[in-house]
Chains A and B, each alone.
Chain A
Amino acid sequence: MLALLWSDILIFLLIGGLVLSAYFASKQEQTRRPWRKAFQSRVGTASFVVLLVFLLVGLLDSIHIKQSESLSPSSEEHTEVVLSVLDIFLTPLRTQIEKTYSAPFSSFAYAKEISLDGTGVSVWTAPRLSYGGAHLEHPQEEIFGDVLQRSLLGLLKGIAAWCVLLLVLAKGPNVVAFINRSVFRKTALYTLLGLLLIIFVTAELVGFYHILGTDKVGEDVLYQALKSVRTGLIIGSLTTLVMLPIAITLGLLAGFFRGWVDDAIQYIYTTLSSIPSVLLIAAAILMAQVYMANNPELFSSVAQRADMRLLLLCVILGLTSWTGLCRLLRAETLKIREMDYVQAAQALGVRKLTILKRHILPNVMHLVMITVVLDFSGLVLAEAVLSYINIGVDPSTYSWGNMINSARLEMAREPIVWWSLAASFIFMFGLVLAANLFADAVRDAFDPRSKH
């Protein structure tokens, strides 16, 4: 049975909106042309495909299903849990829980403990993991060969999957011609091949190893990192969605109308940005927390509560982070409103709102796009910082911020527990880099002055 969380609804609305605007953009020549140009750039296409994969993970994680699951294999008691489609895909990852930390690809736990060896003597040793590498007799000797063998199998499967996909897409065996038809196809398909190889190799290995290790309570880090994709996307996109309308409207109005409108807006954002933002966010979040604690009847499950907290965080971050962009847009608008083409439009009797929409907004969009992408990474990081002082997302929510936060505590251990940090770093890096490169390609394509 389908369970809807608020953030799910918002995500699907967002996607719907994107699809709709893409449809309208494709109908008009002057908007279709720059997009086509964006997809002619290799970097743009490749980063777009990577972004799509991240988006797919986030989307799968946003379809929630209520399921009854037995508490333990032996008992007959069932409890209702809310699982996402991604959870169901990743079931072995989700359920193969070790006792505590273990390094990537390790067959032994990180912490040593006293156990009995075969002869009944108690020894101080790292015990074998219950899932990671459990199929190996002598892990130290066999592991390399085993991983290699499985990776090769994964590679072959990946190539096979890609070939099948090609045959389906090309509707026949003339694949080479199909690939070489355009730069977009070529780049997209080769990027896809790379991603498929990574996915299939990973899929081959995850059943037998914790390829990114496990965390303090023995949960697979890869699973955590994948679950965090949704949180990252939500924080990045919903916050932007809250922040953009405020920043754009106020920035353009202040710059275009000047006078008392400008004064009022300037006072608002100067005041707002002179309050330390962490303080503001902390106050708002704490208030919300108190309210949620006092009204437990509003939330039917823990998941719903955590979800509401995530949404609130987005709204609060959005409400406090619009000042920078607003200031930038005001300054740019002040400059553009004096341009001759704006004056010409005025002389032609074009209405003020139309001037704002036709002449000013498109000419500040590059600023918006750059700021949004830079903010995106900043927001993911802000989430980590806020989680640290316990005002970020709910501790039960998977997020890169929470991962970094928990890893931070273990950095001083010997040998170092690096994998949580590395995993969140790799995923964040992948997402932010892809978003940056894609935004770059899009901006270049939309700038009519840049050639080709």
Chain B
Amino acid sequence: MQSPLLSVRGLKTEFSQSGQTIKAVDGISFDIAKGETFALVGESGCGKSVSALSVLRLLPRNAKVREGQVLFQGQDLLHEPEFNMRTIRGSRISMIFQDPMSALNPVMTIGEQISECFAIHDNVGQKSHKNEVLKLIKQVGLAEPSVRYNEYPHQLSGGMRQRVVIAIALANKPDLLIADEPTTALDVTIQAQILQLLKDLQSELGMALWIITHDLGLVSEYADRVAVMYAGELVEVAPNETFFDVHKPHHPYTKRLFDALPSTQKRDTLLTTLKGAVPSLSSKFKGCRFAERCPLKQADCLSAEVDWRDESPRHQIRCLHYGIEQAEVNAEKFNASNATTDSTGSLLRIDDLKIHFPIKKGFFKRTCGYVKAVDGVSLDIKAGTTAALVGESGCGKTTLGKGVLQLLPITSGSIAYRGEELTQLSEQQLRQYRHHLQIIFQDPFSSMNPRLLVGEVIREGFQSLSQQLSDTEKTQRCEELLQQVGLNPDTQLCYPHEFSGGQRQRICIARALAANPSLIVCDEPTSALDVSVQAQVLNLLKKLQIESGLSYLFITHDLSVVSFIADTVAVMYLGRIVEQGTTEEVLQNPAHPYTKALLAAVPEWDKSKKIKTIKLADNLPSASNPPSGCHFHTRCEEAMPDCSQIEPAKHGLSATHDVSCLKFKNE
């Protein structure tokens, strides 16, 4: 057998933090062959990134590789002097980081940054660099290389920046490219292209690719081999085909991960969740690390040393009992009869809402233009239902959500809550309506004042209620709310930072519930969370809806979440809604080309459902200067000459399904 390109053996990396030793990576072993794509999958905090950094020896000061061997083309990287490592990094092994926004130096041009890598690792003259760089820029799929050469990072969109980052990584034709969550910070439409680019470049240059990710869909499309990591250990290694074959046996953790993914089929059931949390990596482990949360747990799981079992020559599982057929442990049904389906009247009606931000220039701050973040949106939300708002980042979803709550000044249009017009109210009058509409934010870390106790955070919710509560009532209600969102009532006296992301999101939900609202705007509430935690939060939201008839305006870019939770969907592009209808209509029979492209871009692990990817140019036009006619025509594959001239009007496909596209007008 050919010797592997990279061979990691028993790698152990430890952090020492405030007197504790945290075993971030605890004895992992794997091989990456030449030209292979290897994916390391796991939830945040399981040690994925640390293993990559250990291999490159880029660990922070308080971390140390305790044991193990990293053989790269037969060379032991852990014992190379730092001087040699410098020649390996960036030339033979390159790395791409998650956030393209911070990976580039804002004061250097693209050309300078790319040629820097040549300058360090090669001794070619300055002139030949420029040609090399231009070739490289072209290779990563950026148009007009000579223009890009002299541009600065801020002039490029996120996707274009990530391409530049890839160009830098490829500059020296590495044998191994490590991509640490390369697309997490990007939109779905762009994510697909970046991955395709990586894949193409890989086959072109014959390099190996090591992808670190939490996204199973992505893995299924691009990886040759998959390893699942849990609490510092690998628990399963399998080739792609085996890994995504549901009928093959898997590690219980892997199985849970698949089950936690939301989808249409699971609409009526609770998503499978894992109880408890990932064990602290500073604790001493005995037996299987997953045992505490495992539905198949047996007595020997905690006592016996769990070793690898070969399911097939290339498929290993680290579990004692994986063979046992797993019953649907958690397929608890929602009790649909309880649902308060008084979806007769509309709860919130948004009509031709416009939110424009003035662009001011000069000494006297004259207005010289507008960013039309929301440009004539009409939406109707019925009581007890969930309306999803989908779109790429920068399309105005969040602005619309905040506009509904009047957290932003509204330019024109109307927002009617149960028939009551909200936009004309004074601040004083509006305060009485505040408690009906609440909001949950995306980032669970900035959504709570770090200096308030959890109890105080929730108590703030009572503020908007008209009736005054006594202190004991407040405490009691606080406890009820915490229980309702599945937290211990004793947590009132803790600070928000003591909680994990998922728990924080629950506290935010409790705060919103404290006001006793009838509509909650959920602004990407799960996009910062891991799959299993996302499942918990989605379950909670759904449960609350069924119990108390809440309505949600669910803002997201994740279509699988939409299919699980939403009743109606509105697709937004550059401040306008291009298509809306019931979830089934929009997701099964998308009419607008943009919707189709969005759906096609979602990586799908279930191969039977896969649709062909539609390529969208990765430059979302600016909302301050939107294209004429149909906003989408610049990126549309089916664009016609008329599209740049005429603004498409709303066209009804059915009673509930509307689309704004000229194609349908002509028919």
Contacts and interface: CB of A to CB of B under 8 A. Distances in A.
Q: Is B a genuine binding partner of A?
A: yes
Contacts of A287: none
Interface stretch (B102-110, B320-328, B348-356, B429-437): B429-437
Given A340-B441, A347-B438, A448 B450 contact: yes
B452 A358 contact: yes
B80 interface: no
Contacts of A29: 493
B419 to A, nearest CB: 21
Interface in A404-443: none
A448 B441 contact: no
A156 B407 CA distance: 70
A362 interface: yes
A9 B431 CA distance: 45
A346 B451 CA distance: 17
A363 B449 contact: yes
B18 A451 contact: yes
B18 A344 contact: no
Given A340-B441, A348-B434, A449 B450 contact: yes
Contacts of B431: 349
A362 to B, nearest CB: 4
Interface residues of B, number: 37
B446 interface: yes
A340 B443 contact: yes
B508 A344 contact: yes
B101 interface: no
A348 B463 contact: yes
Interface in A329-379: 339-341, 343-350, 358-359, 362-363
Contacts of B407: 343, 346-347
A29 B494 CA distance: 12
Given A348-B434, A348-B438, A340 B464 contact: no
Interface residues of A, number: 22
B520 to A, nearest CB: 10
Interface in B23-73: none
B437 A347 contact: yes
Contact of B461 (A343, A348, A446): A348
Interface majority SS on A: helix, strand, loop or mixed? Answer: helix
A344 B511 contact: yes
A452 interface: yes
B515 interface: yes
Contacts of B493: 29
Nearest to B433: A349
A196 to B, nearest CB: 34
A446 B18 CA distance: 19
A349 B451 contact: no
A359 B463 CA distance: 14
Contacts of A345: 460
A350 B463 contact: yes
B134 interface: no
A30 B450 CA distance: 13
A215 B407 CA distance: 66
A30 B456 contact: yes
A309 to B, nearest CB: 41
A449 B460 CA distance: 21
A256 to B, nearest CB: 14
Interface in B438-476: 438-439, 441-443, 446-453, 456-457, 460-461, 463-464
A359 B402 contact: no
Contacts of A30: 453, 456
Interface of B: 18, 402, 405, 407, 430-432, 434-435, 437-439, 441-443, 446-453, 456-457, 460-461, 463-464, 493, 495-497, 508, 511-512, 515
13 contacts: A29-B493, A30-B453, A339-B447, A343-B402, A344-B447, A344-B508, A346-B407, A348-B464, A349-B432, A349-B435, A362-B449, A449-B450, A452-B18
Given A349-B464, A448-B496, 15 more contacts: A30-B456, A340-B446, A343-B402, A343-B439, A344-B441, A346-B405, A347-B438, A348-B460, A349-B430, A349-B431, A349-B463, A350-B460, A358-B460, A359-B449, A448-B451
Interface of A: 29-30, 339-341, 343-350, 358-359, 362-363, 446, 448-449, 451-452
